[in-house]
Amino acid sequence: MSSILIVEQLSRIYHRHQPDEIAALREISLQISAGEVVALTGPSGSGKTTLLSLLGCMSRPTSGNIQLRNRNVSKLPERFLAQIRRETFGFVFQQYHLLRDLSVLENVMLPLYPSNQPLGEMKKTAIKILEQFELAGMMKKKIKQLSGGEQQRIAISRALVTNPEIIIADEPTAHLDSELSQDLLQILAKLNQSGKTIIIATHDPGVYQSSLIQRRFNLRHGQLVEGQSS
Amino acid sequence: MLRQLKILEFTLSSLLRRKHKNLSLIAVYTFTIATLGSVLFLTHALKLEATGSLTTAPDLVIQRVAAGRHDLIPTKYAEVIKKLPGVESVTPRIWGYYYDSLIKANLTLVGTNSHQGKLDLLEGRLPNNPKECAIGIGVSKAFGPAIGDNLVLEDSKKSRIVFSITGIFRAESNLLTNDLVVLQEMALRDFFTMSPQLATDLVVQVHNQREVKTLAKKIKYHLPDTRPITREEILHTYDTLFNWRSGMMLAVAVAALIAFCILAWDKATGISAEEKQEIGILKAIGWETSDVLAVKFWEGLVISLTSFILGILAAWIHIFVFGAPALVPLLKGWSVLFPEFQLTPAVDFYQIFTLAFLTIVPYLACTVIPSWKTAVTDPEHVMRG
């Protein structure tokens, strides 16, 4: 399989040259193949979320490179990064990050606004995704009226509405019970079967020890400590 | 284009989501604009009423001053003035005030030959015998009479004199004809018990407008107890009077505007954690900085433009439909009491444009700039808070 993401000597330092300087990531190098499911593991503060946001082009590294399909994206201007985020990545955040005052349908439509799709088409695309997750019945409901599990599925629907190549999920089971966590893993497995590359940051053994995970990168203090494990 | 339309659609739904907050903002904004707009409309309308009527005013008005106050002037002064080179004509005027206790207002009584301005009649004709009169619309509304009815005035001997109404003046020069009662010259002299050798003042027309000031000086030299007043001085007095009064009102209104700007700036700079989070989410899922700024721009424009239009409409209705009940005591405040009068709607588009520029642009800046600061920050950083 060809590498979809290549990370070389990646470092991320917050508050650089200041007394409270923090090296969140130090010289990380890794490769992720297209269609692979990988887990970034490690305790809180180990740099999982930072690495995930760098891989997802949500922030820029202090040094090092990230190549997305052989294109160096680590120094691209923000508008190109926004386009890459929109077209290549689907994000499922730990806190879901849904807009609470919007309806389910409006939330799922959000990533499509900057696209060239007309409003009617956007609606159809969003409804189709909601139907796949059996959420079409609640599309007019406001987010604040929904349970945690339902919000999680809506966050996944929003991540998939642009049909991205790569799904990035940050602690997706953090707020779910074991039953809902299993449901989520099944959803992710199905997405992987359809060809999606999935990168999950987690410290939940139920996730990183599951059969879904093909490779695991373990982080400690911003460094890969055990290399790659299968 | 399609993208902008979709973003506009998102903006409108976003505004509706926070309807209580936005409606209260629009209410405060509208009130500020309505206050400023009312002052501007009223001042402009009053100035137009005054200056419009005074363009046909005489070149010079000569008053006699006794003990520092306006006094009746001997008509023989006209002969002295007529002899000065450059004088075209000199006409004695008879006019005075009449306080009516019934309507609690002063009326201006004028002799038929004494009014130099345009006296367009709405209907009827000017009086042609001592028992007739023509009246302004304000007088007509105050007493309720129409043409053919009688107007009863009480002279200084407490005798009630009855005049038959023959005409009503047009509202065009409302400010000056509103409180007018025009009588025949002799009838007015009788009413005021004024000697035929005296007049209220003299009006002087000159051949060359550039000589008006020189002639005024010459008249003052030959008749030291007179006060020559040029048309420019009257116009300047009106201008100063209204500018001073509107200046006072504007000072108060500008204070309100500044308070509003501080509020808007505070609201905008103190962009809430929720709004920051929203911007971070939108950026993370692929919105560009320009998309986020477009949302904020449209949000600001919709609120400021809606408020501006509502405020200007409210000001218009306040001034020209309801007669400026909140401002009239401050801005009209003359030394005499007028009967109620309706202002002719008049708008200075330069003022409207300036007001729009001074209110919409700062508000837009207050809305867009803080959002821009958040939107250019990495979404990961914004979402972490």
Of B47 and B244, the structure prediction assigns the larger pLDDT to: B47
Look at A59 and B379 and tell me if their CB atoms are within 8 Å. Answer: yes
- DSSP characters over A156-199: HHHHHTT--SEEEEESTTTT--HHHHHHHHHHHHHHHHTT-EEE
Report helix, strand or coil for A95: coil
- Chain B nearest-CA distance from A1, in A, is 27
Which of A50, A85, A116 lies closest to B286 in CB terms?
A85
Look at B285 and A91 and tell me if their CB atoms are within 8 Å. Answer: yes
Over range B92-115, report the average pLDDT: 83
pLDDT value at A146 more than 70: yes
- CB of B6 within 8 Å of a chain A CB? The answer is yes
If you ran DSSP here, which 8-state letter would residue A103 be given?
Answer: B
- CB of B12 within 8 Å of a chain A CB? The answer is no
In A186-205, the residues whose Cβ lies within 8 Å of chain B are: none
- DSSP characters over B310-326: HHHHHHHIIIIIS--TT
**Closest Cα partner for B119 from B193, B190, B182, B27?**
B182
- CB of A85 within 8 Å of a chain B CB? The answer is yes
Quick one: tokens of B28? 């405060």
Structural contact between residues A61 and A54, judged by C-beta atoms closer than 8 angstroms: yes
Interface residue of A49, A59, A158 to substitute, partner B, most B CBs within 10 Å: A59
pLDDT of res. B137 = 82
CA A35 remoteness from chain centre: 14
Name residue B54's amino acid. L
pLDDT of res. B330 = 63
Residue listed under structure tokens 């009423």 = B49
pLDDT of res. A180 = 82
Residue partners of A77: CB distance under 8 A and separation at least 6: none
- Tens of pLDDT, residue by residue over A88-132, are 999 999 888 999 888 999 999 999 999 888 999 999 999 999 998
Which of A83, A101, A158 lies closest to B17 in CB terms?
A101
pLDDT of res. A115 = 87
In the beta sheet, which residues pair with residue A194?
none
**Closest Cα partner for B366 from B16, B19, B5, B25?**
B25
Measured over the CA atoms of residue B59, residue B65, residue B69 and residue B74, the dihedral's sign is: negative
Over range A174-197, report the average pLDDT: 88
- Chain B nearest-CA distance from A203, in A, is 19
pLDDT confidence band for B17 (50 / 70 / 90):
confident
pLDDT confidence band for B381 (50 / 70 / 90):
confident
Helical residues (DSSP H) of B270-375, grouped into ranges? 273-284, 289-316, 328-331, 349-375
Look at A58 and B3 and tell me if their CB atoms are within 8 Å. Answer: no
- CB of A17 within 8 Å of a chain B CB? The answer is no
- Chain B nearest-CA distance from A110, in A, is 8
Look at B286 and A162 and tell me if their CB atoms are within 8 Å. Answer: yes
Strands (E), chain A: 3-14, 22-33, 37-41, 63-68, 71-72, 89-92, 166-170, 197-202, 215-220, 223-229
pLDDT confidence band for A219 (50 / 70 / 90):
very high
pLDDT value at B96 more than 60: yes
Which secondary-structure segment (H or E) carries A80? helix A78-88
In B15-34, the residues whose Cβ lies within 8 Å of chain A are: 17-18
In A37-66, the residues whose Cβ lies within 8 Å of chain B are: 49-50, 53, 56, 58-60
Structural contact between residues B109 and B163, judged by C-beta atoms closer than 8 angstroms: no
Distance CA B170, CA B192 (A): 26
Name residue B216's amino acid. A
Distance CA B268, CA B271 (A): 5
Look at A97 and B379 and tell me if their CB atoms are within 8 Å. Answer: no
pLDDT of res. B117 = 54
Q: Provide, as residue numbers in chain A, all residues whose Cβ is less than 8 Å from the Cβ of B5.
A: 119
pLDDT of res. B335 = 41
Quick one: closest CA in A to B377, which residue?
A59
- CB of A144 within 8 Å of a chain B CB? The answer is no
Share of chain B above pLDDT 70, in %: 81
Residue partners of A230: CB distance under 8 A and separation at least 6: A214, A215, A216
Structural contact between residues A228 and A33, judged by C-beta atoms closer than 8 angstroms: no
pLDDT value at A197 more than 90: yes
- CB of A82 within 8 Å of a chain B CB? The answer is yes
Q: Provide, as residue numbers in chain B, all residues whose Cβ is less than 8 Å from the Cβ of A110.
A: 281-282, 285
Quick one: tokens of B305? 């433009």
Which of B6, B17, B379 lies closest to A113 in CB terms?
B6
User: A–B: how many Cβ contacts below 8 A?
Assistant: 78
Report helix, strand or coil for B180: strand
In chain B, count of helices (H) and strands (E)? 13, 14
Q: Provide, as residue numbers in chain A, all residues whose Cβ is less than 8 Å from the Cβ of B383.
A: 93, 97
Over range B327-338, report the average pLDDT: 55
- CB of B381 within 8 Å of a chain A CB? The answer is yes
Interface residue of A55, A66, A97 to substitute, partner B, most B CBs within 10 Å: A97
For the question of an ipTM over 0.95, the answer is no
**Closest Cα partner for A155 from A187, A118, A186?**
A187
Measured over the CA atoms of residue B109, residue B111, residue B114 and residue B120, the dihedral's sign is: positive
Domain boundaries, chain B: 2-53+237-384, 59-229
Backbone phi, then psi, for A106, in 5-degree steps?
-60, -40
**Closest Cα partner for A212 from A25, A35, A34?**
A35
* Of the listed ranges A26-40, B130-144, B311-325, B334-348, the one predicted with least confidence: B334-348
Structural contact between residues A166 and A4, judged by C-beta atoms closer than 8 angstroms: yes
- Tens of pLDDT, residue by residue over B284-332, are 999 999 999 999 999 999 999 999 999 999 999 998 888 778 776 665 5
- Chain A nearest-CA distance from B358, in A, is 32
Residue ranges and CATH numbers for the domains of chain A are: 3-229 (3.40.50.300)
pLDDT confidence band for B28 (50 / 70 / 90):
confident
Look at A114 and B288 and tell me if their CB atoms are within 8 Å. Answer: yes
